Each structure stands twice: as structure tokens, then as C-alpha cells.
Amino acid sequence: MSGLLVGPQPAGERLLLKEFQALDPAAGIEGPHDLRIAKGKVAELAPAGSLEPGEGETVLAGAGRLMVLPAFFDPHVHLRTPGQEHKEELASGTSAAAAGGFWAVLAMANTQPPVDAPELLGALRERAGREARVQVGFFAALSAGLAGKSLAELVALREAGAVGFSDDGRPVASAALLRDALRYQRLCGGVIALHEEEPQLAAGGAIREGPTATRLALPAIPAAAESAMIARDLELIGAEGGRVHFLHLSTARSVELLAQAKERGLAVSGEVTPHHLILDEAEVSLSNTALKVNPPLGNEADRRALLEGLRSGVIDCLATDHAPHAPEEKELPLELAPMGTTGLETAFAALYTELVKPGLLSLARLVEALGCGARLYGIEPATLRPGAPANLCAVDLEARWVAGEDGWRSKAANCCFAGRQLRGRVVATLCAGRLAFSRLGVEVAA
């Protein structure tokens, strides 16, 4: 159902990627290759050195050192459009995605107004078709106005192109409403994506309950705020059926509950963010509001459990939960600052630096988990296979850089990894054969 995504049209330009280390674990492709790109597709994939540039073909030189990967898919971003364009716009958010190696992103519906009506969704998709630099799919709100009282027009929204339904940013507090949504899903289809947070347990909290919250006297959110809600909802899914995706898992218990639910045969899936895999509550300080995220950073045991969940496949995929905010909104005492970190431009490098380099995660699983979120929503993930749309990215694993050193493509700078020394960097991104991002000295078409 490629109709779920909107964005730039396939390009006619012809490219030759010479001497790249290819890696596409799902397709069993690995090793030095040349790739020919034509008509927006991978036209040829051949052993390195075997393809010669044709007339009018632009050559990207991998020099045997750069890697080419299937481009990434982020199933959870906030593009803040409509209504909060001071934080992010379709063009800036998708430029950030391109710079991070993503060929497509799914945008959440908690905009102002929320995307809860087919007319709104239609207008937004049309706008994305003109402005977006990579492919974009849109969630629709699960409840009218994100108010958690009554269902949005789910059938009409699905027909207008919604990839799924989510009140992300807030939980579905009413068990009765969620039960209705699960039943109604038999009619409307689409994935129900849940932000799990027991509202009274989490009320007013700034960071995870634990030694840091106690030391800094910050209002805290217990781990059970997430897992208690997941447990409740799994009971409803067990009774009613339904296809449900759990957003941004952050606790060890959540991973256990997801594993048990999958064992039971429930149609559930889960995602984890780079920041929940890399950072923990011990790193939170009063002076860095970029680390104030929702759900809050867990403790070390949570972090290990999330990593193990990602390795084993209990957690299906990675998602950045890219959540841009304006500087003046984040430059507040931690208790008052809004939650969220940007993530699109640092996801690959942060995960490569902190997990792959130290041997905690294989590069193959990282590449897979950064791409396979597409399949959860019925979208074909990117691949290097000949004949497939040319959605791919080139990375330089030897590159050393400091996150944020050249500024950001996102409008926002609230990145939890800002200032970190990173290894590995995305150097080019192709979206349907079009160069959406390049630092290889080749111009990106406007």
C-alpha cells in the first residue's frame, strides 16, 4: 500500500554508486558492490568494479570504504504541522530525516488542530506531496480532538490515507474507549499505536522515579505508569483481538509483557528509541532539558532489557520519536520544560557509536531495525535488490563528528545527543532515486 506515503516523485536522474560496501541483511546482500540507479529504481547491483559509468550518469565514489544500506524508516516522528510550525515544518523535519538516512517517516497526529478529520488529513498529505523531502505517512487521531472521549471518524480517515490511529503524546486513559477502538478496527483496519502511560501515576512527573529524581527533588514518574497500562491494554486486546503497536517502550517490565503477549499469539508489536537504549536517568541533570523526554529515561536495568528486547526481536524496530521544540520552550527550569528530544539526524550515528562499536548490537540488526518498522504498517521496507525503488543511504563508518557541530537541518536544536562525539555518519540519502541529502560533493536537486 504505497498509497499510504506521499512525498517527492521518483527521479529520472541516473546515478552510479561505485565500490561501496553493501549491506542489506534482509536480502542477504553483503560485500563490495556497484549499484546503478535509473528511473527511481535500483537498476543493477553487481560486484564492485564491474559497472562502468554510462553517458550522463553521475558517479558517487565509495572508494571501497563507504557503505550503502537500505535507507531507514522512522515510524514515529512529530513534524508539528499544522499549527506549531515554529517548532518544525514539513520541509525542515523531512530534511532532517534525509540527513539521518531516512527515506520515509510516519508523522503523529498531535498537531494543532489534531489530525482527526479526513479533510485535515487530505490537506496535509497534499502539502507534504509538495514540501516533503522524503516520503511521509500520517497517523490520524484515535479519538476526536485527541480528547479521549469518542472515536474519530476512523473509516473516513483510513480512506483518506491514515497509516494508523494514535493519540500519541497522551494515553488512551479510558479502557472503554480503547475497547471500542479495538472492536471498530475490524471495520476500519489500520494499526492502533498506543502511548502507554497511566495518567494519574504519571501526573506532573518530569523524570523517572529513582535516585536522580530523589536527589534533584523532581516530580517523578514510576516505571509502573507504563507497564500497568500495557498490562491493562493487553487484557483488552486478548479479549477483543486487534492489531496494536506499542510506542516508545521504556521499561524492563514492558519488554516482558510484550514478549508474553507475542507468545500468546496477540497481534502486537513494539518500538524503542535510540535515547532509551543509550541514556538512563542517572544522566539527567537540572541543566539539560534535552534529556527530559516522555516516557522518561529509565534506569540501567531498563536500558539493558530494552537492548536485549531489540536484539531478540521482541521489540520489532527502532523509532526516534523526533520531538522538536523551540529554544525558548526548552530553556526553562526542567519541571516546566516540555518533554521531547529530536532524533532523526543522530539516530544512526548514536546507535552505531554507543551500541555497535562496543559490540552490544550487530550492524546487521541495527540496519534491519532501522528499516523494518515500515512492514508493521503494511509498507515495503527499503532494499538494495534490483528492481526495488532506490531508497538507500550511504554511510561513512570511520567519520568522527560532534552532534550539532554544523547546526541542524531540523528547525529545533533540542537533541539529547548534542555535543557528543559520534562515530559513523550518513553521507548521502536517496529517496526513490532522488538525492535527498548529500555530503559527497554532489548537488542535491531542489
SS3 of residue 28 by DSSP: coil
Find the part of the chain contacting another protein (CB under 8 A) among 72-80, 211-219, 270-278, 385-393.
211-219
State which of residues 22, 71, 218, 382 lies at the interface with another protein (CB under 8 A). Answer: 218
State which of residues 132, 163, 177, 220 lies at the interface with another protein (CB under 8 A). Answer: 220
Look up 316 and say whether it is catalytic.
no
State which of residues 213, 229, 230, 388 lies at the interface with another protein (CB under 8 A). Answer: 213
- Considering the complex, what minimum distance in angstroms separates the CB of residue 220 from another protein? 7
State which of residues 331, 398, 405, 406 lies at the interface with another protein (CB under 8 A). Answer: 331
For another protein (CB under 8 A), the number of binding residues is 23
3-state helix, strand, coil in the chain (%, to 5): 30, 25, 45
State which of residues 209, 226, 233, 396 lies at the interface with another protein (CB under 8 A). Answer: 209
Judge whether 173 and 202 are in contact, CB under 8 Å: no
In this complex, which beta carbon is closest to another protein, that of residue 204 or of residue 359? Answer: 204
Q: How far apart are the first and last CA of the chain?
A: 27
Query: x/- binding map, residues 163-202, to another protein, per CB under 8 A?
Result: ----------------------------------------
Residue 44, beta-bridge partner list = 36
SS3 of residue 34 by DSSP: strand
In this complex, which beta carbon is closest to another protein, that of residue 65 or of residue 215? Answer: 215
Query: x/- binding map, residues 265-294, to another protein, per CB under 8 A?
Result: ---------------------xx-------
Judge whether 102 and 74 are in contact, CB under 8 Å: yes
Strand 67-70 and strand 392-402: pairing?
A: antiparallel
Catalytic residue (one of 34, 168, 321, 396): 321
Tell me: cis bond preceding 327? Omega within 30 of 0 counts. Answer: no
CA–CA gap between residue 393 and residue 98 (Å, rounded) = 9
Burial class (CB within 10 angstroms; exposed 0-12, middle 13-18, buried 19+) of 226: buried
State which of residues 335, 365, 401, 404 lies at the interface with another protein (CB under 8 A). Answer: 335
CA–CA gap between residue 297 and residue 278 (Å, rounded) = 9
CA–CA gap between residue 255 and residue 36 (Å, rounded) = 41
Nearest residue to 274 (alpha-carbon basis) of 293, 256, 258 = 293
Q: Is residue 215 part of the contact set for another protein (CB under 8 A)?
A: yes
Q: Is residue 334 part of the contact set for another protein (CB under 8 A)?
A: yes
State which of residues 1, 332, 402, 445 lies at the interface with another protein (CB under 8 A). Answer: 332
Burial class (CB within 10 angstroms; exposed 0-12, middle 13-18, buried 19+) of 40: buried
- Considering the complex, what minimum distance in angstroms separates the CB of residue 335 from another protein? 5
Q: Indicate which residues carry an active-site annotation.
A: 321
Binding site for another protein (CB under 8 A): 203-204, 209-218, 220, 222, 286-287, 328, 331-336
